[in-house]
Structure 1
């Protein structure tokens, strides 16, 4: 999976998501999730890394389901009713569908993007999708600087403690450090833009690339797998009569 072109991973994830958000029913989401779980084995992530990276999805999905259960559209038999809380057959079905839908859309997206290198993605976007090189390289430079934010935050915190400013209120301290980080980031961005401009990154001539981005059979297979999973899920939902179009 690591050797697959990143734009193929992006395309597969977008196709799968586009097909799954057409309907909100538990059958299509469950079928998609079952098919995706087979592919997760070949994703290249160890079980520990898989659950660590997808932890936010595992937390968000049940929370969204509980909210839908309590405040979803009321229909069918009522099981609990208290002020705004209204638990019915309709809200239960919608809660299950919502939970499974978030897992079916979120898990493959996180797994696919966890194995993407930003430089490889930039190469693919510029060479395969032919996006403007100036935009792609600028976005790549910005992504590479994200990791410096944490280091800058730690340095600012240590500097403020050394000056005796670390005992202020938590909210006040956070606001002050956030403003300082914003100023530091703007200065660094301006210097980086000037340096890139001086090295010809903003030119209008046709660019050359150090590495060729290849889009071959493996990439097409992954895109087809993403589209196939979504199509099978919709077909099963339609065959069982469970399909519930979002816009209808």
Structure 2
């Protein structure tokens, strides 16, 4: 993944490029603008190193949510029916897809380093967020382990929705307590390693912005401009608040 074009780009520049595309989709209330933006993102898929199947797996929840929003607005929303619903569904996907592509091609450590070096974000915040991201897979594993432990003790809802809700709440509380304890230990360990120090820090991995990174940002601006300009030329563009 890192060998792909987007995988080698500066994380902050990728974040800016994604925000440009998302802002163009967010402002438009017509179906043409998000459709063009989505087409541009899909054409850039080979640059990410992701396969179409992998992208589909990572966006299935997004697609289902966008479809639900579109259908609900088409059936029960404002006048405009399926045209308005379809525009909203496309808009939701066009806003979120750049972020999916950016995160899928960015190492969290590189993102934290770039936030500190390019955006001058506080090191304590950036690397604390990095530690939290690294712990997310552990929460999934721990959730599964809690379920197996309860099943081994014979704790089950047996089809009773009230009992199922109570057991779910207890499982969430157990996971929360474990997460707080782990976070406290990690915070103490990070402070012991100097992450709370006030003096200037040195960097093991230097993040730079080169011409290829600026080209990516330029391509994102051109895509957003082409989508908005094409919609204006067709006479379909309108501000989302007036849609």
Measured after TM superposition, the shift of residue 167 of structure 1 is 5.8
Deviation string for 1:63-115 (max 9, x for gaps)? 211111112222xxxxxxxxxxxxxxx22321221122223222232122112
In the other structure, the counterpart of 1:111 is 101
Deviation string for 1:140-169 (max 9, x for gaps)? 111111111122223323333344434673
In the other structure, the counterpart of 1:237 is 231
Hey, what's the Cα distance between the residues in 2 that align with 1:5 and 1:68? Answer: 38
Deviation string for 1:47-77 (max 9, x for gaps)? 2112111212222222211111112222xxx
Q: 1:27 aligns with which of 15, 29, 32?
A: 32
Q: 1:187 aligns with which of 156, 160, 181?
A: 181
User: Normalising to structure 1: TM-score of the pair?
Assistant: 0.87
Hey, what's the Cα distance between the residues in 2 that align with 1:65 and 1:155? Answer: 37
Hey, what's the Cα distance between the residues in 1 that align with 2:193 and 2:17? Answer: 35
Q: How does 1:153-164 map to 2 (within 5 A)?
A: 153-164=143-154
In the other structure, the counterpart of 1:95 is 85
SS of the residue aligned with 1:2?
A: helix
Deviation string for 1:7-63 (max 9, x for gaps)? 222111111111221121012122222222221222210121121112122222222
Residues 162-171 or 130-139, more deviating? 162-171
Deviation string for 1:106-125 (max 9, x for gaps)? 22321221121110110111
SS of the residue aligned with 2:94?
A: helix
Q: Tell me, yes or no, if the aligned pair for 1:32 and 1:104 is still in contact at 8 Å.
A: yes
In the other structure, the counterpart of 2:126 is 136
Please tell me the root mean square deviation across aligned C-alpha atoms, in Å.
1.7
Q: Tell me, yes or no, if the aligned pair for 1:157 and 1:166 is still in contact at 8 Å.
A: no
Q: How does 1:16-95 map to 2 (within 5 A)?
A: 16-74=21-79, 90-95=80-85
In the other structure, the counterpart of 2:11 is 6
- Which sections of structure 1, spanning at least 5 residues, go unmatched? 75-89
In the other structure, the counterpart of 1:77 is none
- Which sections of structure 2, spanning at least 5 residues, go unmatched? 1-5
